[in-house]
Each structure stands twice: as C-alpha cells, then as structure tokens.
A and B are shown apart, each in its own frame.
Chain A
Amino acid sequence: MGALMAGTRGWWRRNALALVAVAVLLPATVVGAAWWGWKHAYPDSGMPLWPVTPGVSGTVDLKGATWGPVKAKVITDTTGLDMPAGATLIGVTVEVTPHGDKGPDCYAPELVEQSTGRSWHSVRGELGLSWSTDEPESCVPTLEGEKAEPYQLVLPYVVPEDAEGPFWVDIDPGQAESKFVRFPIDP
C-alpha cells in the first residue's frame, strides 16, 4: 500500500515540467485561436456589423472622411418626376468631407426602416432623373492626379405608403473594420 502512494507522487514529480507547460500553453492556444477566429469573422470580415452614429455635431468620422450632417424630407411635390401611385418620395442629402487627397469609396447608401428592417436604394434613374455630377447618388471616386473635394450625396428614395419612420441612412465605406455610418432620421 505504501509503495503504491509513493508511485503516484513520483509520477507527478517526474512529469512536473510537462504539466506546467500544458497548463500554460493549453489555455494560451485556446485563447489565441479564439481571438484570431473572432477577429477573422468580425472586424476583418468586411461585413458591416457595427454602426457608428453621429454625436451632437451630427457628423461621423470614418475611413478618412467626415460624413454628415444629414437632411431628410418627405417630398410631396413630385411634378416632373415619374412617381408611382401609393408610394412616398423621401429625399435625403448627406454631406461628405474627405480628409485627405483621396475621397472615400462606399456601397450604395441604404434607407432602412427601423421597425421592420426593410431597406431601399436610391432610384434616381427610375424617377426619370438623368445622372448628374452635381447630385451624386454614391461616393464620388477621386480621379488620378486630382484632389478630393467635399460633395453632397443626393438620394431620392421611393418607399411604399406603409413604410413608417423612423429610418436609418446606412453608408458602408467598405473595409472599415466592420464599422459603418448610421444616421437616424425621421422625415
């Protein structure tokens, strides 16, 4: 009986170094792999996951530009525009001020109904408005050799009558560590 107990204590002593190494490396591996996996799935994924909302100033700084302020209004006078019956026209303008020489890029800004999650893209062409450099519907790319200047996005959205505010205007500048710009509006 005594011989048995001595054998067990001896085993621990003999393998002490290995056990300490395991005790340190095993949690480190788990934590490291988990951290890397999370980083790959979330901030590095490029998917827009975390909205950045404006503060008191009404602007957001992201991906080398200042976004906002944002103005939104329901446009009731639609003369001259090809508008369907039973739909509402919401006009949104977003100021974009690039910081450096190159302007930001972005996906088409979306209008999102907060209560249902339905989303819309601006439909300038469908309203009969032709493309204009003064009223861009999406981020203006900076051409070679030019310096980026501030501009204003003009976004006409056609939404069904049953769409109710408040809304968000979401702009994803792409590859901004899963952050995107979100402006709450209630036109």
Chain B
Amino acid sequence: MTIPPPPVPSSPAAVPVAPATSRRGFLRRAAPWALSVVLVAAAWGLIQVQKHEDAPYESFVSSTTVGERAETRNLSVTVTEVHAARSVSDGQRWRAEGTWLVVDFDAAALDDQFGALLATTDLRLGDRTYSATERGDTAKSMVLVTGVPRHGSIAFELPEGALTGPATLVFATEYDTSADGVIEVSVDLDDVPMQNEVELDPVGWAR
C-alpha cells in the first residue's frame, strides 16, 4: 500500500517551491531515477563479471604436453613417455592385469627441498578423476631434490574401455591444491598404442 507523504505546514506561501514545469525542476526530479537505473545496471554487470564462489580456491595451472617441461611453485615436471597396457609390472615382484596407463616422468623441486614430495598425481578423464595406484613399487609420492630431476613411473588403474579421448595428468607437491600451483599435462589417449605388458621404470636420477 502506498504511504502518503508526511503532513505539510499550512500556508507554505513563504516557502519557495520550484515550479514543476520548468526544465531545471524536471532534471532535478529525474536525477534520482536516472541514478537508480545506472546503479541497477551496474549491479547486473558486476554479477555477470564476478567469478563463482570457489574461485579463490582454484589452483594456478601451468599447462604443457608430453615431452615438455613445466614449472610451478617449487615443482618442475617433464612427462617423458605415456604407455597403455593390459598388464604392468614393477620390475620386482609385483604384476597386475587390467586396463593400465603408465606415465614415465622427471620431476624436481625448484627452491626448497624441505618436505618436497610429489604428493598429487592424478588423471582427469572426462568427468572422472583417478589417482595413481598405491599398488606395487612406483614413483607415487616420490621425494624431490632441488634443481636435480628424479625419474620414475606411476600407473593408473582404469575401468575397461577407458583408454580413449583427451585426458589431463595433474602433478603437485601438496595433496590439497587449493590456491596452489599445479602442472597439467594434456595427453590424447587415442594416440597411445595399447601394449601387452609394460614395466615401470625404477625410481632414480633422471638421465
């Protein structure tokens, strides 16, 4: 319901009132409306430009491809080779069958060796995320040395028929990559030939 304006004193004759029909009067009355429209439009524009709620927690991504070196906070990674296999072995006593993706890589810390580990080794395929297997003796959670790359292999255990399409490998020195640096390596799994058996490289210095 509308609320009428507060009461006015009787005989406002002495109070000067700007006549409504003059141009200056019109502008003065239209000004708040115009300002309101501008502010509403600006608010709409601001909402369009704003990032989503989780934006402050996004990782800082350094992207690269197989064979190229990439750097992020305290980490440099070069994926040397990618294999697809129906069975894998770690060169010692462990062997496993299934659908496997084996990734050989070199990794090093950049400035600080304190607690430097390759903590995150993930594979993003479509809407699914896989982590490198803890089975067998692999380079999962490999220790990193400042400036001197270490070489190792990790393996991803995948469901049947998954080795197709574009995929992204994610490497980081922390388990929680919010607001931290990650290295993403893109691989097209259709370009990776399927082998019968692949042996994982032992962990050691990069040659």
Direct A–B contact in the complex, CB atoms closer than 8 angstroms: yes
Q: Check A87 for interface membership: any CB of B closer than 8 A.
A: yes
When C-beta atoms are compared, the residue in chain A nearest to B150 turns out to be A126
Please indicate which of the listed interface residues B114, B143, B205 has the most CB atoms of chain A within 10 Å of its own CB.
Answer: B205
Q: With A and B bound together, what is the CA distance between A83 and B148 in angstroms? A: 10
Q: How many residues of B contact A (CB 8 A)?
A: 16
A84-B113 CB under 8 A given contacts A119-B146, A160-B147: no
Q: Check B112 for interface membership: any CB of A closer than 8 A.
A: yes
B37-76: CB near A (< 8 Å → 1, else 0) gives 0000000000000000000000000000000000000000
B189-207: CB near A (< 8 Å → 1, else 0) gives 0000000000000001111
Q: Check A121 for interface membership: any CB of B closer than 8 A.
A: yes
Q: Choose one: A117, A118, A126, A162; the contact of B205 (CB below 8 Å).
A: A126
Q: With A and B bound together, what is the CA distance between A118 and B144 in angstroms? A: 13
A120-B145 CB under 8 A given contacts A110-B114, A126-B150: yes
Q: Check B188 for interface membership: any CB of A closer than 8 A.
A: no
Q: Choose one: B147, B149, B204, B206; the contact of A118 (CB below 8 Å).
A: B147
Chain B residues with CB under 8 A of A119: 111-114, 146
A118-B148 CB under 8 A given contacts A84-B207, A110-B114, A126-B205: no
B106-143: CB near A (< 8 Å → 1, else 0) gives 00001111100000000000000000000000000001
- Whether A84 lies near B205 (C-beta < 8 A) is yes
A120-B205 CB under 8 A given contacts A158-B148, A162-B147: no
Chain B residues with CB under 8 A of A162: 147
**CB contact list, A155-176 vs B, under 8 A:** 158-160, 162-163
B interface residue numbers (CB < 8 A to A): 110-114, 143, 145-150, 204-207
10 smallest CB-CB distances across A and B, nearest first, come from A84-B205, A160-B147, A121-B113, A87-B148, A120-B146, A118-B111, A120-B113, A160-B148, A118-B146, A158-B148
A interface residue numbers (CB < 8 A to B): 82-87, 108, 110, 116-121, 123, 126, 158-160, 162-163
Known: A87-B148, A118-B111, A119-B111. 20 other contacts (CB 8 A): A82-B205, A84-B205, A84-B207, A85-B207, A87-B205, A108-B114, A110-B113, A116-B111, A118-B110, A118-B112, A119-B114, A120-B145, A123-B145, A126-B145, A126-B150, A158-B148, A159-B146, A160-B146, A160-B147, A162-B147
